[in-house]
């Protein structure tokens, strides 16, 4: 594994005194192609100790609803099975109940999360540790600081920087055999055989239903990846922006929970297609360029995910037009229930409610319209974040705030001035009507 993926958060203190190496699986919910896991096993083998994997079940993260929990827990049960098959114990603990284990560890390994509320959680772990803590950046192709030491304003500025380094970071991560298995270690874990068992024991908001269509877990992610590569990738470039077509990977929830990594996706794609294939290039533009732009913004922009985090020109122009007359104003409740006059928008909201994600093209329209239908651009931004994070299985991701910020002008250029939007690019019904699959989309979500 390339050393640039490693971040030492706490240098050697009382190393070797602890009983085991602990990997806290916070962001990369998978047992294969997991850089942090293999780093932990490698280090444990070198120290002659066992390695355990700790899964913190945090109850009060934003939107602790049944939809998000069920998807995550389906993945957790499968992760436990796969790790046990390799002789590694998965320890589930509620909230911060795992911190005593951190103190007993001779080395702590962490995933790298990018959002502010997740970084605070990492700080708690570092404070609670008496030994070396290493964070591993395993859910991006090229690590953020390697791509660029500064905030990148546009996809076109980050593109050459990330693409230049891409091939050396598409490295394989062979699965190592632990020399000392940890299954018999005397460490208590909250083990249930079913998702329902866990749900009964945690505070979960039951008002957002689970989504049957998407099942959590790394096996599901791999199955979807193979379907994508075999059946959809040949049409990806041509059809990905057609709302009626099923031409994209639908991997965003799996990437969001680290049930698959972007490197895994690209390695599989490149087994079947050449790098210069137009569909592969289009996928790289989304999965690498835009996705890494989101992580760049999460690391370098302290206000990322808020209206205040938008570029000055975008904020000013939207505020200048905040007093423009709006033909329709909707409450959050009306929006949430897809009760607007606009059948396209309602269809997109229904897709979000029923499937936990929205087609990319419709997502842009969905978000832009909020600017038109709320009293202020600040409120529109808040509503977009709320709806996307609450109902999206791929929500609460740097991509979420990148997509929303883009709709409010960030990472885009100023356009001709118009009502309400000012110089921010508008999207109209006319552009939707030109999409050949729009009727099919409407019939699917009406
Ligand atoms: C308002 C708005 C909100 C969004 N919210 C989210 C969100 O909560 N979570 C999320 O993952 N994406 C979000 N996106 C980006 C994009 O819509 C989704 O990533 C994409 O639709 C997911 O479908 P897919 O997995 O089939 O994508 P594919 O086209 O198959 O792409 C593969 C992967 O590349 C990444 N990707 C694709 N498009 C983008 C993009 N524009 N920006 C960044 N990464 C991208 C995703 O990880 C995606 O799973 C949002 C976009 C907008 C405009």
Predicted pLDDT of residue 63: 79
Predicted pLDDT at 72: 97
- Pick from 232, 259, 225: which is nearest to 246 by CA? 232
In the chain, CATH 1.10.579.10 covers: 307-444
CATH class in words for 1-139: alpha beta
What residue has token string 């592969």?
280
pLDDT at residue 224 in the model: 98
User: Where do the CATH 3.40.50.620 domains begin and end in the chain?
Assistant: 1-139
Residues of the chain with pLDDT under 70: 13-16
- Ligand 1 lined by 352 (C-beta under 6 Å): no
Ligand 1 near 363 CB (within 6 A)? yes
In this prediction, residue 212 carries a pLDDT of 85
* Cα gap 278→235, rounded to integer Å: 10
Whether the Cβ atoms of residue 398 and residue 114 lie closer than 8 Å to each other? yes
Rounded to whole angstroms, the Cα distance separating 445 from 43 reads 50
Q: 307-444, which class in CATH?
A: mainly alpha
Number of other CB atoms surrounding residue 167 within 10 Å: 12
Tokens at residue 301, please?
Answer: 């922009």
The pLDDT of residue 394 is: 97
Indicate which atom in ligand 1 lies nearest the CA of residue 384.
1
Under 8 Å between Cβ of 187 and 52: yes
pLDDT at position 446: 87
Location of each CATH 1.25.40.80 domain in the chain:
140-172+218-300
Which backbone phi and psi does 167 adopt, to 5 degrees?
-60, -35
Predicted local distance difference test score (pLDDT) of residue 15: 57
- How many angstroms separate the CA atoms of 356 and 391, rounded? 6
Beta bridge partners of 108: 22, 133
Cβ atoms 145, 157 nearer than 8 A = no
Residues 6+ apart with CB under 8 A from 220: 214, 254, 259
pTM of the model: 0.97
Count CB atoms within 10 A of the CB of residue 123: 10
209 C-alpha to center of ligand 1: Å?
22
Quick one: pLDDT at residue 277? 98
Q: How far is the CA of 288 from the centre of ligand 1 (A)?
A: 11
In this predicted structure, what is the pLDDT of residue 398? Answer: 98
Task: Indicate whether residue 355 lines ligand 1 (CB < 6 A).
Answer: no
Q: Which residues contact 104 (CB under 8 A, 6 or more apart)?
A: 18, 19, 20
Q: What three-state secondary structure class fits 9?
A: strand
Tokens for 306?
């808020």
Could you tell me which residues are beta bridge partners of residue 53? 23, 90
Q: Report whether residue 280 contacts ligand 1, using a CB cutoff of 6 Å.
A: no
Would you state the pLDDT for residue 76?
98
Please tell us whether the domain made up of 140-172+218-300 is placed in CATH 1.25.40.80: yes
Contact yes or no for 80/91 (Cβ under 8 A):
no
Is any ligand 1 atom within 6 A of the Cβ of residue 395?
Answer: yes
What is the 283 CA–ligand 1 centroid distance (Å)?
Answer: 11
The β-bridge partners of 133 are: 10, 108
Q: What is the pLDDT of residue 16?
A: 61
CA–CA separation, 22 and 116 (whole Å): 23
**Helix 360-373 vs helix 343-355: angle between axes, to the nearest 10 degrees?**
120
Q: Is the CB of 390 under 6 A from ligand 1?
A: no
Spatial contact of 394 and 356, defined as CB atoms under 8 Å apart:
yes
Give burial (CB, 10 Å; 0-12/13-18/19+) of 231: exposed
What are the beta bridge partners of residue 132?
A: 107
Q: Is 400 in the pocket of ligand 1 (CB under 6 A)?
A: yes
């Amino acid at each position: 594994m390339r050393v640039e993926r490693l971040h030492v958060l706490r240098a050697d203190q009382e190393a070797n005194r602890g009983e085991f190496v602990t990997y806290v699986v916070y962001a990369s919910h998978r047992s294969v192609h997991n850089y942090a896991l293999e780093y932990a096993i490698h280090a444990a083998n070198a120290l002659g100790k066992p390695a355990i994997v700790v899964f913190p079940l945090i109850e009060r993260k934003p939107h602790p609803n049944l939809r998000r929990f069920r998807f995550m827990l389906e993945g957790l049960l499968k992760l436990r099975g796969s790790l046990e098959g390799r002789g590694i114990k998965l320890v589930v603990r509620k909230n911060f109940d795992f911190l005593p284990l951190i103190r007993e560890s001779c080395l702590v390994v962490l995933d790298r999360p990018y959002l502010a509320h997740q970084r605070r959680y990492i700080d708690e772990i570092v404070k609670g540790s008496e030994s070396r803590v290493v964070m591993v950046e395993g859910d991006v192709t090229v690590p953020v600081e390697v791509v660029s030491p500064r905030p990148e304003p546009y996809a076109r500025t980050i593109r050459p920087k990330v693409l230049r380094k891409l091939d050396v970071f598409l490295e394989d991560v062979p699965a190592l055999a632990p020399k000392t298995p940890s299954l018999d270690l005397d460490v208590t874990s909250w083990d249930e055989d079913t998702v329902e068992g866990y749900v009964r024991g945690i505070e979960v908001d039951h008002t957002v239903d689970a989504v049957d269509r998407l099942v959590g877990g790394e096996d599901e992610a791999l199955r979807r990846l193979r379907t994508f590569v075999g059946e959809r990738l040949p049409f990806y470039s041509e059809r990905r922006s057609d709302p009626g077509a099923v031409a994209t990977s639908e991997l965003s929830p799996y990437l969001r929970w680290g049930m698959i990594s972007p490197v895994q996706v690209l390695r599989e794609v490149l087994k079947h297609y050449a790098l210069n294939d137009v569909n592969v290039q289009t996928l790289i533009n989304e999965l690498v360029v835009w996705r890494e732009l989101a992580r760049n913004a999460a690391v370098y922009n302290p206000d990322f995910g808020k209206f205040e985090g938008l570029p000055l020109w975008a904020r000013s122009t939207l505020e200048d037009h905040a007093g423009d007359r709006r033909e329709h104003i909707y409450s959050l409740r009306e929006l949430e229930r897809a009760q607007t006059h606009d059948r396209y928008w309602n269809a997109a909201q229904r897709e979000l409610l029923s499937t936990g994600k929205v087609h990319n093209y419709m997502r842009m329209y969905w978000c832009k319209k909020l600017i038109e239908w709320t009293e202020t651009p600040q409120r529109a931004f808040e509503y977009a974040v709320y709806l996307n994070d609450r109902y999206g299985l791929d929500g609460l991701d740097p991509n979420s705030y990148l997509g929303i910020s883009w709709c409010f002008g960030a990472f885009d250029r100023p356009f001709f001035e118009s009502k309400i939007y000012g110089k921010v690019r508008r999207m109209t019904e006319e552009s939707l009507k030109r999409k050949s699959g729009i009727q099919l989309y409407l019939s699917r979500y009406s």
